[in-house]
Every structure is written in structure tokens, then in C-alpha cells.
Amino acid sequence: MRHAEKLLGQVENYLAQIDMPAEPELLYTPITYSMQGGGKRLRPVLLMLSYSLFADDCERALPAAAAVEIFHNFTLLHDDIMDNALLRRGKPSVYAKWGKNVAILSGDAMMISAYQFLGRTQTQNLQAVLSVFSETAIEVCEGQQYDMDFETKQKVSVVEYMRMIELKTSVLLAGAVVIGAMLGGASEEDCKALRRFAIELGLAFQLQDDLLDSYGDERLGKAIGGDILEGKKTYLMITAMSRADESQREILRSTHLNSSLSDEEKIARVKAVYDALDVPHLTQQQIAVRFERALSQLDTLKCDPTRVDSLREYAKSLMGRNK
């Protein structure tokens, strides 16, 4: 983990040095607020770790690392408007603090800023890097649209759900590692393996997020059961629906709307159905399968195996499996 921590330090330093213009204040202040809002810096660290599989001068990857982090924060700004989300990482969202118009326009400026950082990357291969970045970005938008579509859709299949979280979460991790690898001079084959690694890691990570929302983990800083109270179609809910009998299905469908129940009662009632249908265990199995698939890709890389260790350890720590 020492290498990943060093890279995280480099990323944080680089991001802290970004100097936004002073005016117009309502365009730039929210950008600084958003970028200083914390977070794991997962995407830039993955980009740097991927780069350092193939090259040593990690500073060269910093502008691209900043680009993926700025792009990620841009998606949060706009998602928070669409989801009417007032909190982000325990603080008021830009949308809550400054309103819809500021969140739209500052988000737009962040996306442009992401492209500016990407454009600063020293590479012979800017056209290809740009193409991966844009393809990734458009897929993230597709994922967000599917996510919104699902809110009003009666029935969502597990396959549809997995495709949605692949687009909404995995592809940006994949874009990050592929761009890092391309800048480091990786072969096309290694780029593909790293892409598959990140896709599976992202799925495992998102399913774990779904599981922890209902079954808890204090690291998340989220109220437990938020997904259940919103009636959100998570992996747990969709799996449960596909296995439920009619009376269980009715509980899953309507409990979050039942105003005669307290929040605790709603959560307990839905979780009782999940437990009866073995949903937590099935979810854990799916997480394990995805995570194993991710790690197995790393064994196929044609780079120095000792370099792969840092990336493998980082992936394990993300999943809380580093002990």
C-alpha cells in the first residue's frame, strides 16, 4: 500500500495546486468547493497505479489523473441536481448550497476543465487518449440515464442492472486505468486486460456498496437503509424480486411507501424478506466472483510482476480485503 499512498499524496498535492480564476465567483467557487470535498481519489490513484506498471516518472500522468477526478466530480454535481440530493460526502451539495443554475454551469465548466487537463498531457498519442476519455464520458452519461429510467420502470432485470452499473461506475474506472496504461506505453493487450480488471472491480465495488447500504458499515458515513427507504432498485432489491413469491413481492414493492411504519420498521420488514430469500449471501457470492475475475486479469499482464502488487493490494483495500 505504500506506493498507492505515495501516489495519492501526489494526486492530492497536484489537485490542491489547481488555481481557479476569481471571477465570475459563482462559476469557480463551487468548483473549488467540490474538488476539496474529499473522497478517496479512487480514479486518479487507479490511473497512476496503472501508469506505474509500465513507467517510472509518475508526474507525467498527473494531468490525466486530475482530468478523471475533475470529470468524476462534474458527474456528481449534475447527478445531485437530477437526484435532488442535498448532501454529498456529509456536506451540502453544490446544488443545495448554490442552487440548480450554479450547479449546472459550474458542472459544465468542470467538464471543460477536465478536457483542459487531459489536453496538457505530454504524449504522442493524444488523439487515442482523448478518444478513450470521451467514449468513457459518454458511457457514464448513458449509465446515469438508465439509472433514471429504472426509477419509473416496473421491472428491471439483473442483467439490465449490471449493465447500468457497468456504465455508471465501472467504465470510468476502466477509462482511468486504460489511459494510465496508454500513457505508460502499455501494449494493447495489457490495456485490454486492465480494462477488464477495472470493469469487474467496479461491479464488485458497486454491489458491495449496495450490500453495505442495507447491511451496514461505519466507513461509509451513510445512514444504513437509505436505499430501502427510497425504494431504490439495487442489486439486493432486484435479486429479491426475482426470487420472491407474491406476498414477499408486495412487501418489497410497497413497504417504503407505507406511512404507518417507522423507518426502522420499514428497513426491518424489507431485510426480513432479503434474509428469507438468501439475498445477502447471494450478493456476497456475486461480489466474490466479480472480484476474483478482476484480480485474475492482473496475472495476465506482461509487466514486471512486483509492480502489479501495488495495484492488487490497492484493489483489495478498496474491497476491505487487505487484512
Nearer to a second copy, 139 or 190 (CB): 139
Give the SS3 label for residue 87.
strand
What minimum distance in Å lies between the beta carbon of 111 and a second copy? 6
Nearer to a second copy, 112 or 220 (CB): 112
Nearer to a second copy, 24 or 185 (CB): 24
What minimum distance in Å lies between the beta carbon of 148 and a second copy? 6
Residues written for the chain = 323
Residues making contact with a second copy (CB under 8 A) = 23-24, 26-27, 78, 81-82, 100-101, 104-105, 107-109, 111-113, 115-116, 119, 126-127, 130-131, 134-135, 137-138, 141-142, 144-146, 148-149
**Structure-block grid coordinates of residue 139:** 458511457
What minimum distance in Å lies between the beta carbon of 164 and a second copy? 10
Q: What residues contact residue 98 under an 8 Å CB cut-off, 6+ apart?
A: 26, 30, 106
Nearer to a second copy, 53 or 176 (CB): 176
* DSSP result, 117-184: HHHT---TTHHHHHHHHHHHHHHHHHHHHHHHHHHH-S---HHHHHHHHIIIIIHHHHHHHHHHHHHH
Give the SS3 label for residue 88.
strand
Nearer to a second copy, 19 or 218 (CB): 19
Q: What residues contact residue 107 under an 8 Å CB cut-off, 6+ apart?
A: 74, 77, 78, 94
Q: Please give the Cα distance from 185 to 179 (Å, whole number).
A: 10
What minimum distance in Å lies between the beta carbon of 35 and a second copy? 15
What minimum distance in Å lies between the beta carbon of 118 and a second copy? 8
Give the SS3 label for residue 213.
helix
Nearer to a second copy, 43 or 266 (CB): 43
Residue type, 228: I
What minimum distance in Å lies between the beta carbon of 90 and a second copy? 24
Side-chain half-sphere exposure of 242, counting CA atoms within 13 A = 16
